[in-house]
Each structure stands twice: as structure tokens, then as C-alpha cells.
Amino acid sequence: MASCTESLQFPQTSQWSGTEQTEHWYALQTRVHRERVVEQRLQERGMATFLPMVTEVHRWSDRKKTVQLPLFNSYLFVKIAPSKVDRLRVLCVDGVFSFVGPRGEGIPIPEAQIEAVRALVAGQLPWSTHPFLKIGQRVRVRSGALQGVEGILVSRTGESSLVISVDAIQRSMAVRIEGYEVEAA
């Protein structure tokens, strides 16, 4: 069986006629523990990649070792034009499952979000992973005076609030939850 690169001949970007498309960042899902290999192969093909890495100390009964691990297991980012040719060039790399998004086509990721992750990882500031919470999602307060209270997460003028509703009477109230730890309900 011929490999993807043997069976498909891709024109170089400079040989491709037509209008130039703006490049965007896309997330790729990879095989487990293959993020670095996929990143290297994409870079060999001339593509810009971003694989955020974190340093962790792993402890065993007899020793400690500092290791570099991907921040997001089985994911990395690639910057390409949203063309079928570029998508195929990425998908033909061994270890790539798909683009993250509907029908595996990928969703462009804003440059600001990529730069925010870069700054956080490079800044050596104390941080921790957190479950993804989206505005409009039902959440539960984990600690403090509101522990156990559930509601909808909203944001108004940059401040997060928890909206608590009484469905039967169709009334709601909002409380600021800055400083409270919340989780998906």
C-alpha cells in the first residue's frame, strides 16, 4: 500500500495559483504520546506548529525525574491556510487523527488564544489546568459560602456571575462569583 505522500503529489505553495489565503491556527488530534513526532514531521514539511509543553517532576520510590510533557495530551496546533491542499498535507502525516471541529474540518483558533497559552507556559507562573467552562454553561460552586449552589455562568462587562433561576415562577437572580471555585454541573 502506498503512503499518502507517495500517492499524492502536493504543489508547493509558490506553485499554487489563485488568491493567497490567510493562515490560521488549527488544533489537531494525534495518536497518544505522538505529539512531538507529529510536530517534527509537520515542521519538516514547512508548517508552523505549536506544542505547549510543561515541566513536571515524577517521583518513584527510588528517584525523582523532571520530564517535559505536552500541556494538552494528544493535541497540538498547526498554522495553515484553510485550503484542501494544506489540510491534506497535514492529514497525511502519520500520527494525525483529524482536525478538531465539525466533520474533522477544524475550527480556526484566534491568534490571541494561542498567544495567551504561549505567555502562560513561557511565564513560569504558578497555574493549574481547569475544566473548560463556557459562558452559558451550567456550573456548581465548589467552595465558600455558595458551596453546592448551581446556576448558569454568565459574563457581563468582564465580570463572571452565577445566575440562579426558579423555573416555576420564571425569575432569576445573579451573584458575582469572582474568587469562587466553580466546576461543570
Whether residues 31 and 98 fall in one domain: yes
Domain boundary among the residues 122, 151, 169 is at 122
Domain that holds residue 117: 22-122
Would 177 be classed as within a structural domain? yes
Question: Do residues 50 and 111 share a domain?
Answer: yes
Q: Is residue 61 in a domain?
A: yes
Question: Does 47 fall in a domain?
Answer: yes
**Coil vs helix vs strand at 52:** coil
Residues 118 and 31 in one domain: yes
Same domain assignment for residues 26 and 114: yes
One domain for residues 142 and 112:
no
Are 27 and 116 found together in one domain? yes
> Does residue 44 belong to any structural domain of this protein?
yes
42: domain CATH number? 3.30.70.940
For residue 126, the one-letter residue type is: P
Could you give phi then psi for residue 13, rounded to 5 degrees?
-55, -40
Longest dimension (CA), the chain: 65
In a domain, 10, yes or no: no
Q: Does 127 fall in a domain?
A: no
Measured distance CA(125)–CA(170) in Å, rounded? 44
* pLDDT tens for the 185 residues of the chain, in order: 445 655 555 555 444 444 567 999 999 999 999 999 999 999 999 999 999 988 888 998 999 999 999 988 899 999 999 999 999 999 999 999 999 988 888 999 988 888 888 887 887 766 666 667 787 888 888 888 778 888 888 887 777 888 877 665 666 777 888 778 888 88
Counting the structural domains of the chain, the total is: 2
96 with 161, same domain: the answer is: no
156 and 69 in a common domain: no
The β-bridge relationship of strands 75-80 and 48-50 is antiparallel
Does residue 77 belong to any structural domain of this protein? yes
State how far the Cα of 115 lies from the Cα of 117, in Å rounded to an integer.
Answer: 5
